[in-house]
Structure 1
Amino acid sequence: MKQVTDTVYMFESTKSSRAFLVKLKNRMIIIDTSTPGKGTQMLAELTAGGMQASSITDILLTHHDADHIGSAAYLQAATGAKLWMHKKDIANTMGRKKRPLFKSFIGTFMKPELPEITGIIAANGEIVPGILAIQAPGHTPGHTVYLNDGVLFSGDAVKVKKDGTLRLLPGFLTADKKTALESMQAISQLNYTLICPAHQEPKHFTAL
């Protein structure tokens, strides 16, 4: 694992879609789980870092896309952790609602094992001590970002430009562009100095 801050680590086996580890006083938290089949490599990284799978207390999912929930079921079974997601993305995650457009096509060849959502996020707020969940819809209806001690885990809500400002992912990956733009503006007003997007290296943030 690559250390990002004193408490945040990035799984190096998840470069195609980033997953992160947050070590708090009484919690060890994984944020997103990358694509299917990454779970064994992620657990191997934990072991190499002197940590045990049983130490993971929570798994937080930013949204329902297959490259974010891909190894959730495997990691949930291996760790016994509580699995968190916003209620508006659960139907897609569990296959009860079809993913839209291009994401449906991706789902024909990337099929995650279905996890059990045991922690349902319904509103903004602290879901575990030290972790604030903030809804940022647009990319998906229930997309959620997570904030911990000045570090924002942004999933696919935004990407970061070279000048440190924010932009959206391409339109064909965004369910509702108007809502996504509103979420991006709201994200830019949050109190953080480091942003950890899903498809980029962590970057320092420059306010709009």
Structure 2
Amino acid sequence: MHELPNEAFQLDNSRGANGYVIPLDRGFAVVDPGMKSGARAVVAEVAGAGLTGAVTDVLLTHYDVDHAGAALAVAAENGAKLWIGRADADILAGRRSPGTFARRVLSSMGRPKLPGIVHFLGETEGFPEEIRAVPTPGHTPGHFAFVWRQTVFSGDAAMVRADGTLRQFPALLITDKAQALASTAVLEDLDVQWICPGHGRPVQR
């Protein structure tokens, strides 16, 4: 992993999507560790940085396999809590259907697995005090972004241009366009200097 100018870290070995590591007062939080096929490499990367057992929380912006596939392995290896929005957890557990035909097709190809105990963003107590979980539905119904210091880890709530402005993902990947547009407005109103997206480079606003 390498340190970013905002003092967070980006995983070098996460596959599919950008994975990040946030230093906390007591431990570390991993955000979106990527696909299951990269889980072993991410676990080894965390160990190589001397952080095995120091990762206290795994935070998922949303349920997509390229963000959440490695989460179970990373959480289990570190004895960490796994956090996800309830609506997205319900989709992974089969209690709720993905909202569009395209997403139902994608889900039929495999869904990330969750541990027996799941912590729900915005509901379960014990979330890291240094981080604020911000509901940003639209891409998925239970999507969250995470604000830490002057940075937002935005997942797939929006795509980020090089100048820090935001644009929507292709319609095929959006569950609810009205919610997605509203969530983009929420991100634009945040008082932050850095955007660390799920795809593409971190950008200073």
Percent of paired sites with the same residue:
31
User: Counterpart of 2:191?
Assistant: 191
User: Counterpart of 1:74?
Assistant: 73
User: Counterpart of 2:51?
Assistant: 52
Question: Is the aligned partner of 1:164 residue 2:164?
Answer: yes
* Cα drift, residue 126 of structure 1: 9.0
Q: Are the aligned partners of 1:36 and 1:70 in contact in 2 as well (CA < 8 Å)?
A: yes
Quote the RMSD (CA, aligned, Å).
1.9
- CA gap 1:155/1:71 in 2 versus in 1, 3 angstroms: same
> Matched residue pairs, number?
203
User: Counterpart of 1:182?
Assistant: 182
* Cα drift, residue 7 of structure 1: 3.4
**DSSP-derived class of the 2:37 partner:** coil
- CA gap 1:83/1:185 in 2 versus in 1, 3 angstroms: same
**Normalising to structure 1: TM-score of the pair?**
0.89
- CA gap 1:136/1:39 in 2 versus in 1, 3 angstroms: same
Q: Which amino acid aligns with 2:68?
A: I
Question: Is the aligned partner of 1:118 residue 2:131?
Answer: no
* Cα drift, residue 117 of structure 1: 4.7
Q: Which amino acid aligns with 2:83?
A: W
> In structure 2, how many angstroms separate the alpha carbons of the residues matched to 1:119 and 1:113?
14
User: Counterpart of 2:147?
Assistant: 147
* Cα drift, residue 98 of structure 1: 3.1
Q: Which amino acid aligns with 1:135?
A: P
Q: Which consecutive residues of structure 1, in runs of 5 or more, have no partner in the other structure? A: none
Alignment deviations for residues 108-161 of structure 1 (CA, whole Å, 9 cap, x no partner): 3344333345311236x9931210000011111111000001011000001112
* Cα drift, residue 30 of structure 1: 0.3
- CA gap 1:89/1:76 in 2 versus in 1, 3 angstroms: same
Worse-matched range after superposition: 73-82 or 104-113 = 104-113
Q: Which amino acid aligns with 1:85?
A: I
Displacement over 4 Å in runs of 4+: none
User: Counterpart of 1:201?
Assistant: 201
User: Counterpart of 1:94?
Assistant: 93
Worse-matched range after superposition: 101-110 or 148-157 = 101-110
